[in-house]
Amino acid sequence: MNIKNKDISNNEKVLPNGKNLGWAYIYFIGIGGIGMSAIARYFAVNGKQVAGYDKTATKITNSLEDLDVEIHFEDAVKNIPISFLEKSKTLVVYTPAVPENHTELNYFIDNKFTVLKRSEILGKITETTFCLAVAGTHGKTTTSSILGHIMAEVKATSFLGGIAENYNTNLILGEDKISVVEADEFDRSFLKLSPNIASITSMDADHLDIYGDSDTLQESFIDFSNKVSDTLIVAKGLPLKGLTYAVNEDADYKAYNLKIESGKYIFDVQTPTSEIKNIEFNLPGKHNVMNALAALAMADVYGISLENIKDSLSTFKGVKRRFSYKIKTNDFVLIDDYAHHPTEINAVENSVREMYPNEKVLVVFQPHLFSRTRDFIEDFASALSKFDEVLLLDIYPAREEPIAGVNSDWLLSKIDNEHKKLTNKNNLLKDIKNSSAKVVTMLGAGDIGILIEEVTNKLLKTEDNGV
């Protein structure tokens, strides 16, 4: 029986923050996920007993285990710690990415435990805090991380969809009065939130396996905007009513006089009531100036002084897997990025050209999801064709079964680039070494994020050995 058709009856316990949570034990299915792990960490540091399951061990699961969170990697009820099998004391949290035939999840449902999606428990947290939420098909992780860094001065607790370099974690722990959250449109999760101030960075078509078409996706963003109790801030051009922001265009919040000095942006901002000059920001790409501007606008509406916002922007180091330099020397550059949608790939290519205008650039891309590859095949091909060389890995399936005819061979055939080829994990290092490109970007949302660590280590070892 499908999970979606099962009766998941939650009891009437209230879900306030941290230590006051009604359950003593919280069990996470998919605990290593970037969004799930932030919540697991939040409750673990607030004194709750936390445990969980995930498919594989990662740096994230290792860091949770350092907090005495018990984690196992085989889907079997026998592996659940016995203390978490007492129904009256245990809350179960799961991610929609978990398959419907998951043994442990179905055990908890069949035995009438209280079972919530990740979005539901995050929604409960936002009900009891002043919530600043960042939504959008692109840019929300970086924007929410910038905002969390700014809002740290007022002790906001920030739940992020990436590892903030300043904190080396996806949870910026503050107090229980203010929350910063990434509002995820996948599975309509953001409709569970209760935002006071929100921004919407973009509404490009994505997750069509969930929404069916772009109109339905846009309707979901409109529904989210209607949940905002105080102030909505939107990128100029989106079909929504709210304060607008833009770069070099008239808007309520406008960034202008952009220049690059010593590898960082310097720009001015006009707000509805004031102006701040010579903001320094270290992330490359105009899309990141937009992200910084969205965070600035939200913090300004909340009441953080522009001078303090300026100081925070100058010290923001970025988010892991968002244009992250793995190797950066005079002779070779290796960049890691989570880009898995054509718009994001274009943004990376633009940023690379901006930073390295005269260098040959190789892209290594791992497509994510068969359905996304099918839905945006022409856009993926167009984006990848802009690089000087292309190496294409097999599609990472994530939660999906294969779709007939949808594969990396098909995508490769669409790419208009003479210097393109399929590769695999075993041959990737050799293919990178055989390239004359000085700049290599590795892009994707699948296990390429793990693969790049291996590639980085081997390339650095080769360099150390003088090979």
CATH of the domain at 245: 3.40.1190.10
Is the CB of residue 60 less than 8 Å from the CB of residue 36? no
Say if 180 falls within a structural domain: yes
24-66 residue pLDDT tens: 999 999 999 888 999 999 999 988 999 999 998 988 999 999 9
Select from 443, 135, 448, 141 the least CA-distant residue to 283.
Answer: 141
Residue 283 sits in the same domain as residue 431: no
Say if 49 falls within a structural domain: yes
Residue 250 sits in the same domain as residue 271: yes
Taking each helix axis from N to C terminus, what angle separates 342-355 and 377-385, rounded to the nearest 10 degrees? Answer: 10
Q: Please tell me the distance from the alpha carbon of residue 388 to that of residue 419, in angstroms, as a whole number.
A: 7
278-322 residue pLDDT tens: 999 999 888 899 999 999 999 999 999 999 999 999 999 999 888
CB atoms < 10 A from the CB of 394, how many? 15
Burial class (CB in 10 A: 0-12, 13-18, 19+), 258: middle
Say if 154 falls within a structural domain: yes
* 352, pLDDT greater than 70: yes
Say if 186 falls within a structural domain: yes
What pLDDT does residue 465 have?
52
Of 118, 138, 155, the one marking the end of a domain is: 118
What pLDDT does residue 215 have?
77
Of 92, 118, 144, the one marking the end of a domain is: 118
CATH of the domain at 25: 3.40.50.720
Residue 146 sits in the same domain as residue 107: no
Residue 358 sits in the same domain as residue 246: no
Strand segments, DSSP code E, in 352-413 are 361-365, 389-392
Is the CB of residue 277 less than 8 Å from the CB of residue 228? no
What pLDDT does residue 415 have?
97
* 326, pLDDT greater than 90: yes
> Mean pLDDT score of the chain, rounded to an integer?
90
The least confident of 20-24, 45-49, 255-259 is: 20-24
Q: What is the DSSP string of 315-340?
A: H---BTTSSEEEEE-SS-EEEEE---
CB atoms < 10 A from the CB of 382, how many? 16
Residue 10 sits in the same domain as residue 96: yes
Cβ contacts of 324 within 8 Å, gap of 6 or more? 165, 318, 335, 336, 337
Residue 447 sits in the same domain as residue 422: yes
Residue 246 sits in the same domain as residue 366: no
Cβ contacts of 5 within 8 Å, gap of 6 or more? none
What pLDDT does residue 20 have?
54
396-424 residue pLDDT tens: 998 789 999 999 999 999 999 999 999 99
Tokens read off for 173: 């722990």
CATH of the domain at 340: 3.90.190.20
* 12, pLDDT greater than 50: no
Of 55, 88, 118, the one marking the end of a domain is: 118
The structure's pTM equals: 0.80
Query: How many domains does the chain divide into?
Result: 3
Say if 1 falls within a structural domain: no
What pLDDT does residue 355 have?
84
Is the CB of residue 437 less than 8 Å from the CB of residue 362? yes
68-93 residue pLDDT tens: 999 999 999 999 999 999 999 999 99
Position 205 confidence tier, pLDDT thresholds 50, 70, 90? low
Position 187 confidence tier, pLDDT thresholds 50, 70, 90? confident
Q: Provide the domain limits for residue 435.
A: 324-464
Could you tell me the maximum CA-CA distance found in the chain, to the nearest angstrom? 65
Q: Which residues are 244's β-sheet partners?
A: 234
